[in-house]
Amino acid sequence: MLRTMSPDQSIPGGTAALRTVLLASFVLFCLAAFVLPALAQTQPEIAAPQAILMDFESGTVLFEKAADTQSAPGSIAKLMSLAVIFREITEGRLSPDTEFKVSEYAWRRGGAPSGGATMFAALNSSIKVSDLLRGAIIPSGNDATIILAEGISGNELGFSVKMNEEAKRLGLTGSSFHNSNGLSDPDQKTTARDMAKIATHIIRDYPDLYKIFSEPDFLWSKIRQSNRNPLLGMSLGADGFMTGYLKEGGFNLVGSAVQNNQRLIVVILGGKSEKERAEDARKLLEWGFRSFESRLLFEPGQIVGEATLYGGERGGAPLTGTGPIRVLVPRSGDERVTAKIRFDGPIRAPVEKGQQLAQLDVYRGDQLALAVPLIAAESVPEGPLWRRAMDGAYELVVGLLRQGYAKLTSAATS
């Protein structure tokens, strides 16, 4: 595949400098396939200060507004708690039939006396995990979430450690969790992008448990409560997730909907009212389903490009995706789609087939629409001694050249 190198890559560094490879042939393909006439409809105007709209299958970002700005999550923090609990169940450490006792702390902090969202769990009663899950999801019960956290980790502090470990595992970079339920805590923060990642993870990895989010109501202690997700009644194809509110964070919502086999995920943070957050989410979902279509960029196993190797049997490793690589593009628009391969280098041989080596960044215009990992399509063993010596000498020379260039640049600007 033809390729050109960015200035950052033309002189490799001795340290792990970020490498960027422009996919020249891919760009030409994009120019031929995706340069489209003007958008029939511009992006929708929403009132919320932070939002994101993402395609579930490809991970393409269709719309974002301050998506990496931190905000208090309120009850949508429960999605991180539920991701931890779902994993405990799926990996066999927790049974849906296990019963947890309702502590006085859970009852006072999140139950009927608290005045907040609750499943009305009775003090000192024992409740099955399966019922607690419904109590945490459908009416967004704070008591249910605390009971689950205490049952798994002994207390909320211990459970929050699990939440942050799972957040790190999922690659969340803007979130910090300090309780299981989303009640006010000055250090508890998240972003629209991180919440979309959690939502994607739950749908993809726990599809059976995700079905609970679409249940319309929940009966407990002779009290029937409706699902708090307003999108479920909007004829959008919505089937899950929840809302949250804190005075310091505003009205939040995470939702997902399916139309014509396409699933979108929407996150709204910081709305001024329940009506505003629901209307913003509706606007984004309707616009996303109406305005975009999926395009296949690379088939499963198709070679995307090559990562430069150091000390290998050959100088590069072919790269491919972990599956098909798709991106959503406007049904009509003038946005040009381009792509770059990025990797930290030099990459030392040997590399194993399936080893993640790089990332493919796909842009619609100036917006990063998609970032997907790239893996080695085949193994490349370590090269012979003479090859490693030549590569070592090359890296030494260009490293010195880069240092000299940096000093000259510094002197010129001082």
Task: Read off the pLDDT of residues 321-362 as tens digits, 9 standing for 90 and up.
Answer: 999 998 888 886 566 788 899 988 678 889 999 999 999 999
Question: 139 and 284 share a domain?
Answer: yes
Question: 60 and 202 share a domain?
Answer: yes
Question: 259 and 366 share a domain?
Answer: no
Question: 69 and 200 share a domain?
Answer: yes
Tokens coding 160: 């929050």
Annotated catalytic residue, options 71, 81, 140, 160: 140
How do residues 201-249 score in pLDDT, each as one tens digit?
999 999 999 999 999 999 999 999 999 999 999 999 999 999 999 999 9
Q: Rounded to two decimals, what is the model's pTM?
A: 0.78
What's the N-to-C CA distance of the chain in angstroms? Answer: 42
pLDDT at res. 159: 98
Question: 311 and 165 share a domain?
Answer: no
Residue range of the domain that includes 147: 50-293
Tokens coding 359: 């990332």
Q: Is 228 helix (H, G, I), strand (E, B) or coil?
A: coil
- To the query of whether residue 126 is one of the catalytic residues in this protein, the response is no
Could you say which of 261, 293, 325 is where a domain stops? 293
Instruction: Give whole-number Cα distances, 223 to 31, 125, 306, in Å.
Output: 59, 16, 60
Q: pLDDT category, 392, cuts 50, 70, 90?
A: low
Q: Is 130 helix (H, G, I), strand (E, B) or coil?
A: helix
Q: In this model, does residue 252 exceed pLDDT 50?
A: yes
Q: pLDDT category, 394, cuts 50, 70, 90?
A: low
CB neighbourhood size of 182 (10 A): 30
Could you say which of 258, 293, 328 is where a domain stops? 293
Question: 233 and 318 share a domain?
Answer: no
In a domain, 208, yes or no: yes
- To the query of whether residue 140 is one of the catalytic residues in this protein, the response is yes
Question: 160 and 66 share a domain?
Answer: yes
Q: In this model, does residue 102 exceed pLDDT 60?
A: yes
38-45 — which CB contacts under 8 Å span 24+ positions?
38/332, 38/333, 38/334, 39/291, 39/330, 39/332, 39/333, 39/334, 39/335, 40/291, 40/331, 40/332, 41/287, 41/290, 41/291, 43/287, 44/283, 44/284, 44/287
**What is the overall mean pLDDT for the chain?**
86
Question: 157 and 11 share a domain?
Answer: no
In a domain, 321, yes or no: yes
Return the higher-pLDDT residue of 292 and 129: 129
User: Which residue is it, tokens 């972003």?
Assistant: 191
What share of the chain in percent tops pLDDT 70?
81
In a domain, 325, yes or no: yes
pLDDT at res. 337: 82
Could you say which of 268, 293, 318 is where a domain stops? 293
CATH of the domain at 168: 3.40.710.10
Tokens coding 257: 């909907």
pLDDT at res. 398: 56
Q: Are 146 and 110 in contact (CB under 8 A)?
A: yes
In a domain, 309, yes or no: yes
Tokens coding 30: 């994009």
CA torsion 273-274-279-284 (nearest 10°) is 90
Annotated catalytic residue, options 78, 162, 189, 283: 78
Q: Can you tell me the distance from the alpha carbon of 343 to that of 35, in angstroms, rounded to the nearest whole number?
A: 27
In a domain, 411, yes or no: no
Return the higher-pLDDT residue of 396 and 315: 315
Q: In this model, does residue 176 exceed pLDDT 50?
A: yes
Q: Can you tell me the distance from the alpha carbon of 204 to that of 81, in angstroms, rounded to the nearest whole number?
A: 16
How do residues 67-83 score in pLDDT, each as one tens digit?
999 999 999 999 999 99
In a domain, 405, yes or no: no
Q: In this model, does residue 402 exceed pLDDT 60?
A: no
How do residues 278-303 score in pLDDT, each as one tens digit?
999 999 999 999 998 888 899 999 99
pLDDT at res. 400: 54
pLDDT at res. 42: 80
Sign of CA pseudo-dihedral 369, 371, 377, 381: positive
How do residues 6-54 score in pLDDT, each as one tens digit?
323 322 333 333 444 444 334 433 433 443 333 335 889 999 999 999 9
Going by C-alpha positions, the residue among 334, 336, 323 that lies closest to residue 362 is: 336
pLDDT at res. 387: 59
CATH of the domain at 358: 2.60.410.10
Instruction: Give whole-number Cα distances, 117 to 140, 143, 146, 257, 376, in Å.
Output: 6, 8, 12, 24, 49
Average pLDDT over residues 305-315: 85
Question: 25 and 87 share a domain?
Answer: no
Question: 269 and 327 share a domain?
Answer: no
- What residue spans of 272-313 are helical by DSSP H? 274-291
In a domain, 245, yes or no: yes
In a domain, 43, yes or no: no
Question: 89 and 234 share a domain?
Answer: yes
Annotated catalytic residue, options 58, 71, 75, 180: 75
Give the number of domains in the chain.
Answer: 2
Question: 159 and 280 share a domain?
Answer: yes
Return the higher-pLDDT residue of 292 and 402: 292
